[in-house]
Structure 1
């Protein structure tokens, strides 16, 4: 173990007995003989990047706990220290606000709403490979960010529903979403088309949508976006395994607001409707295999978006969790 970080065990972690065995997620805190200051933390990240990269490859997620990360700017410094390239948030569904530098609010949907399991931006071709979360204000209660290993979900679904998995591997999925002009903060998918495509110009939105492989159908007060067919299962080359890389459960169970009917939000790539019973069983598998560590102020969670799906539980305010996306 490197000198600046101490790997610790905490409640709620899962332990996988694969060879080699590993805890999920890894939890790193300051070594008792070193400092916990922000500058020491960022210097340690830069100096020990190969160690952190190999740990992330092995476990899929790292929680940094006990370091002096107090503000959005501190968090931005931590993200910058890793040296990953920034990914602009184009095409994602969640309403978010830029806070400072590369830091955004996490999904701003109302506290009483859960956000279902998903890989970040799995419904568009350009998605982040890494994402960071930072707890600036601890939740009053609830508000955890559950995580689950994607290849485990794939293996369980393949075992239970081989025909269904074969069909989505062959045909992919189509995602359909209706956007208003402006953001709707009452909806978990309430990002309006102007902020989705980072423009007020419909022709620029058309160009950016086309670049994503997305078709737009305009209405008087909004637009329908049609994405796909897009793969639902991907191959993670770095770990040599198939992963459950889609927003199927999130769309089918959670893409609901005044404009959207979740059952119509996602279909097989050939346009056929999905079987609701299998989707709800998949949700059970996601819940069974997941874990949720309660947030503490100053926590920084680094997730490999190729390896891990995440969600959000409902909460009692206050809670402020910030995010940053990396290519």
Structure 2
């Protein structure tokens, strides 16, 4: 927790940050202001990779979804092929990942383990935590540049193979794919280049190869865009003992990540990647009614541990694929 708090930018730094837009003097409702400033707000995100809108008057979840649809210029996307538990609200607004308050959620680009992902994300702080609970950010371009060259080149050459076993410890396949139908699961996998194996009537295993590095479609810059560090078995240490890891076997853990050729990624490699993220991560303390707009390829996000009640919502759009 001490480390998480150290990520927070101080008030003086925040006040001088051009990516934080203080709109507390706006007399209109948040919805009315956004409707008259769509181009301007989108230009902020395109220029900086994210924009924090602070001080707008927003009164409901429905208003938040309307604000996002107005800015994104389309309906929000349904969240299928999930990797974490969350609750769906109205109009494809979701709670952020519902892990215990004492757990840290590592930095990640949403759905970077998939061949489809949102280019735009919007977060809305309904209730800030008593302490902690920030949504830290890191620049994916800088992460790419700071990964040691030998390791970065190996990932870039081989890509990542994600292996998931749904059920007892991880999410059930019914929640991940948002269906009770095995046929629908199989169709989704076939359409999205996911290998699948039914281990028995209830257990499903999937494998998917994805690149570790992508180019941003507008800027052409290389970004570190994968979730190898989140899926890797070393990230399960707070859930599974070493004995359980060994007895289950690396292929049958709830989730695991390998190099694209199937070879193992060492714990040391993952530790190095996580250190790069720690070195580059920064955070703004949430305030009630804050909206954080994010280019999901340019910036990662995560969650600090926290105390008290915390409620942050998210919506996604502009689906990209490769």
- TM-score normalised by L of structure 1: 0.83
1:14 touches 1:291 (CA, 8 Å); kept in 2?
A: no
Structure with larger RCO (C-alpha < 8 A, sep 6+): 2
Kindly indicate whether the alpha-carbon contact (under 8 Å) linking 1:12 and 1:293 is maintained by their aligned counterparts in 2.
Answer: no
Instruction: Give 2:102's match in structure 1, choosing from 103, 112, 122.
Output: 112
Separation in structure 2 between the aligned mates of residue 162 and residue 108 of structure 1, nearest angstrom: 35
Asked whether 1:235 is paired with 2:215, we answer yes
Cα distance, 1:111 vs structure 2: 1.2
Distance across 1 between alignment mates of 2:83 and 2:66 = 26
Q: Secondary structure of the equivalent of 1:243?
A: strand
- Map 1:1-327 to 2 at 5 A: 10-11=11-12, 13=14, 23=17, 26-30=19-23, 32=25, 34-44=26-36, 48-82=37-71, 83-157=73-147, 161-180=148-167, 190-220=170-200, 221-228=202-209, 230-252=210-232, 253-255=234-236, 257=239, 265-327=256-318
User: Could you say if the C-alpha distance between residues 250 and 85 of structure 1 is closer, same or farther in structure 2, counting changes exceeding 3 Å?
Assistant: same
Counterparts of 1:237 and 1:95, CA distance in 2:
29
- Aligned counterparts of 2:191 and 2:12: Cα–Cα separation in 1: 44
Equivalent residues of 1:145, 1:312 under 8 A apart: yes
Rate the CA distance shift 1:91–1:263 in 2: closer, same or farther, 3 A: closer
Alpha-carbon distance between aligned partners in 2 of 1:154 and 1:105, rounded to the nearest angstrom: 29
- Once residues 129 and 27 of structure 2 are traced to their aligned partners in structure 1, the CA distance between those partners, rounded to angstroms, is 27
Aligned to 2:6: none
Q: What is the Cα deviation at residue 275 of structure 1?
A: 2.6
Alpha-carbon offset, residue 14 of structure 1: 11
Secondary structure of the corresponding residue to residue 129 of structure 1 = strand
Which runs of no fewer than 5 residues in structure 2 stay unpaired? 1-9
Q: 1:191 to 1:288 in 2, by over 3 A?
A: same
Higher helix share: 2
**TM-score using structure 2 length:** 0.84
Query: What CA distance in whole angstroms lies between the structure 2 residues aligned with 1:278 and 1:199?
Result: 36
User: How far apart in 1 are the matches of 2:183 and 2:12?
Assistant: 51
- Structure 2 distance, partners of 1:248, 1:43, is 39
Which of 282-291 and 121-130 deviates more? Answer: 282-291
Distance 1:296 1:322, change over 3 A: same
Match of 1:6 in 2: none
Paired residues, number = 296
The SS at the match of 2:314 is: strand
TM-superposed CA distance for 1:284, in Å, is 1.4
Relative to structure 2, which stretch is displaced further, 210-219 or 92-101? 210-219
Residues in 2 aligned to 1:317 and 1:209: alpha-carbon distance in whole angstroms:
39
Shift of 1:86: 2.5
Instruction: Give the superposed CA RMSD.
Output: 2.4
- Per the alignment, residue 20 of structure 1 pairs with none
TM-superposed deviation, 1:41: 2.5
Q: Tell me, yes or no, if the aligned pair for 1:117 and 1:249 is still in contact at 8 Å.
A: no
